[in-house]
Structures are given as C-alpha cells and as structure tokens.
A = this chain, B = another copy of it.
Amino acid sequence: MTHTVNDEESLDTVSQTLKLLGDKTRLTIMKLLDEQECCVCELVGIFNTSQPAVSQHLRKLKDAGFLRENRRGQWIFYSANRGSGQYELLQSLIARLPSQLYRIEELEKKGLRISCG
C-alpha cells in the first residue's frame, strides 16, 4: 500500500479545519454553539467585537459546514452542525474546553438574551 490522493486530502482537510479553529473567537463560538443555539446579536453581546466581525466568523464556520442556521423572524439562530463530516474532529477539540454557558448567563443578567427561541 502506497501513498494515495485521499491521504493528501486528509492533510488538507485537517489543516484547514485547524486553521479555522485556530482563532480564539471562532473556537469559543463553536464551543458555545455546540452547547446552546444563539442568534447573531447574542454573540455580538458576548464577544467584544462588532456585528460584521461576528458575521464574518460565522460565515467561515458555516462555509466549512460546522454550523446550521435557523431563521426565526428577524433573528437567525446558529448551532453546531452535528451532522458535519468533521463533527467528530470538532468534538475532540471542544471537549477539552470549559463550558461557555456562563456567557449566556451573563447576557441574561444584562437583559440582552433573545428568549424567543
């Protein structure tokens, strides 16, 4: 058995995934969205970045197949796509991270939670 094209693809796929998750904001977003569906404005309230910055991170994660989106009225709720072919890899990474649910609780204290879901 020798080197195959699939081998190369595996290196490409994994390195691209790691590059995507090698950003602290995106990694945190994935951890949180694996625990709890959130809309964009909640994520904006949680992270110290602008709405476009959050949108752009979400776009990259969605393009890679890591997110599901779910519109309800004017809000778009995002959550981890557990059907992604890369979900197991994602899971093995975020399982190491502390829960981010406390961020949602902080949002609630500030009255910024969108609870229409």
Q: Which of A22-30, A33-41, A75-83 sits within the interface?
A: A22-30
Are B7 and A96 in touch, CB under 8 angstroms?
Answer: no
Report if A21 contacts B (CB, 8 A).
Answer: yes
A21 contacts B18, C-beta separation under 8 Å? yes
Residues of B within 8 A of A19 (CB): 18-19, 22-23
Known: A3-B102, A96-B89, A102-B2. A15 touches B21 (CB 8 A): yes
Count of chain A residues with a beta carbon within 8 Å of a chain B beta carbon: 29
Q: Is the pair B98, A18 in contact by a Cβ cutoff of 8 Å?
A: no
**Chain A contact residues, CB within 8 Å of chain B:** 2-4, 6-7, 10-12, 14-24, 27-28, 31, 89, 92-93, 96-98, 102
Given contacts A11-B27, A11-B28, A14-B97, 20 further A-B contacts (CB under 8 A): A4-B98, A10-B97, A10-B98, A11-B24, A15-B21, A15-B22, A15-B23, A16-B22, A18-B21, A18-B22, A18-B93, A19-B19, A19-B22, A19-B23, A20-B22, A21-B22, A22-B22, A89-B93, A89-B96, A92-B92
